[in-house]
């Protein structure tokens, strides 16, 4: 059981809940803080204090006072009116992460909600009730208003939820799990809707997938180096000591470990005077991307425990302060940078694919097939990779440099952080396919170098991969092979095989 405190979550915790369905509860200490903040808020309201979103309208309606007997309806209405998302639904892992992060943010004790609000979110999470959240409709200004509204609707017994893979009305899902629907009190609707939890959840999932991709890319790049009979000289530690970027040094070390004791590179049956950049500059390109991902991780490390509500209740000071912690700019910039880094990983991979299928530069059979002419081999697989690279170039345009004012210019500069997250996930999926195609081509190329063998680590990797995808003797439909190779990467099978034989950083 993960007990949330409001300020102690780790990215590993979020992934445990999102991917492994770890159960979650609210700690006693956090519960006491939440109750203290709620009592303070209620006292301030009873004293006649005017507090934004508690007894006023929202946004440009902040100057309109709301009578006490309308407060429940006010909180209900903000959720209903803000549930205006469209587009494909977010995946369940992202939804689970968002539910956890929303509960954790409220558990910090700065939002003024009742403990039952957090308990209901966690009960839904533990019961596998996943609100259906459209992926489009947030500009990342007051956080993720529309996505969070769709999340909250289910807790109120409305909207739609996915339960065991089936779409179920929110009220029915709660009833079947024995969970009482929420009736929101003062401040609670606003507190549930304000915040960056959905884009942060998408970012944590994207970070995990990106880290898998960057480690996998080193392995696949090394396999391509073997297939191409490349030179190991560009990975010499003396070169990288002269330009000590952290990621670059890590990748160079990975390449040395992966290529160690290679019969192919010792023999070098097809030598070139100097390698193309897509081989020679693997440490510089992969490494620079790793550094960007590390920066994004540092942003997410802060954000998963951040208070991104508005207004914020400082119970000990008996003050309610209005600010802008819900603005998604830190995340938007990080996601845009990560999208560019992942796109670069795919772009350099496609160049190695082109290298592998070209007989004149590889010394391998054209298009990596023995019976040429009668068979086309991997000709069109490279075309598919080129298409995905071209799409990634368009997707890499940063969302964070754009802003469209909303809410009658009250929200006059927005982050587009959720759009950045959606785009990043698209780039990651494209790049998984590009690397899958390189994995297919590089393994085919290494097999064509027999009887010479790659280094022991990559030789074991090749054998493991051949249990999923067989050598291409004659033409066959390649889409199933590409999908198998993508899953071999995505499900960490590739990393797990390699990590049995060497320490991959």
- List active site positions: 52
Residue 446 buriedness (CB in 10 A; 0-12 / 13-18 / 19+): buried
Residues 6+ apart with CB under 8 A from 171: 157, 158, 181
Question: Any idea how long the chain is?
Answer: 505
**Residues 495, 212 contacting (CB under 8 angstroms):** yes
Beta-ladder partners of 25: 3
Measure Cα distances from 70 to 73, 77, 81, 117, 210 in Å: 5, 10, 16, 20, 47
User: What is the Cα–Cα distance from 125 to 22, expressed in whole angstroms?
Assistant: 9
In 288-384, the DSSP E strands lie at 312-314, 319-321
Cβ within 8 Å of residue 450, ≥6 positions away: none
**Which residue is listed with tokens 């808020």?**
41
The C-alpha R_g of the chain, in whole angstroms, comes to 26
For residue 280, CA distances in Å to 117, 221, 287, 359, 454 come to 55, 10, 13, 19, 18
CA-CA distance, 57 to 48, in Å (whole number)?
A: 16
């Amino acid at each position: 059981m993960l007990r949330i405190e409001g300020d102690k979550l780790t990215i590993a915790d979020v992934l445990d809940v999102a991917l492994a369905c770890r159960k979650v509860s609210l700690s006693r200490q956090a519960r006491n803080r939440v109750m203290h903040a709620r009592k303070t808020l209620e006292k301030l309201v009873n004293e006649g204090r005017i507090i934004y979103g508690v007894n006023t309208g929202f946004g440009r309606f902040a100057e309109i006072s709301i009578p006490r007997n309308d407060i429940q309806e006010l909180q209900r209405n903000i959720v209903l009116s803000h549930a205006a998302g469209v587009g494909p639904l977010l995946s369940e892992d992202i939804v689970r992460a968002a539910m956890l992060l929303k509960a954790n943010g409220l558990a910090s004790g700065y939002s003024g909600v009742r403990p039952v609000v957090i308990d209901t979110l966690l009960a839904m999470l533990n019961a596998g009730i996943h609100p259906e959240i459209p992926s489009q409709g947030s500009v990342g200004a007051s956080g993720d208003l529309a996505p969070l509204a769709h999340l909250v609707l289910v807790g109120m017994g409305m909207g739609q939820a996915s339960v065991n893979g089936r779409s179920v009305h929110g009220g029915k899902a709660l009833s079947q799990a024995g969970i009482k629907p929420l009736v929101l009190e003062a401040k609670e609707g606003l507190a549930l809707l304000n915040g960056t939890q959905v884009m942060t959840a998408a970012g944590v999932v994207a970070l995990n997938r990106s880290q898998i991709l960057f480690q996998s890319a080193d392995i696949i790049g090394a396999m391509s180096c073997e297939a191409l009979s490349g030179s190991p000289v560009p990975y010499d530690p003396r070169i990288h000591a002269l330009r000590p970027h952290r990621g670059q040094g890590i990748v160079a070390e990975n390449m040395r470990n992966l290529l160690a004791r290679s019969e192919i590179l010792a023999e070098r049956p097809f030598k070139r005077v100097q390698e193309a950049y897509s081989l020679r500059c693997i440490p510089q390109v992969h490494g620079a991307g790793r550094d960007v991902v590390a920066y994004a991780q540092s942003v997410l490390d802060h954000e998963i425990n951040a208070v991104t509500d508005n207004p914020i209740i400082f119970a000990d000071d008996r003050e309610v302060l209005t600010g802008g912690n819900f603005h998604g700019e830190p995340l938007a910039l990080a996601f845009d940078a990560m999208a560019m880094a992942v796109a670069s990983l795919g772009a350099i991979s496609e160049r190695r694919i082109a290298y592998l299928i070209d007989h004149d530069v590889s010394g391998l059979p054209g298009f990596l097939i023995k019976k040429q002419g009668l068979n086309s081999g991997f000709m069109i697989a490279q075309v598919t990779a080129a298409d995905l690279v071209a799409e990634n170039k368009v997707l890499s345009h940063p969302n964070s440099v754009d802003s469209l004012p909303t809410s009658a210019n009250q929200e006059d500069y927005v982050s587009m952080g959720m759009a950045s997250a959606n785009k990043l996930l698209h780039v990651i999926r494209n790049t998984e396919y590009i690397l899958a195609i390189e994995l297919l081509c590089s393994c085919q190329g290494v097999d064509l170098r027999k009887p010479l063998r790659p280094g022991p680590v990559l030789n074991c990797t090749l054998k493991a991969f051949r249990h999923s995808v067989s050598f291409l003797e004659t033409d066959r439909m390649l889409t199933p092979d590409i999908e198998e190779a993508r899953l071999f990467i995505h499900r960490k099978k590739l990393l797990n095989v390699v990590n049995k034989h060497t320490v991959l950083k």
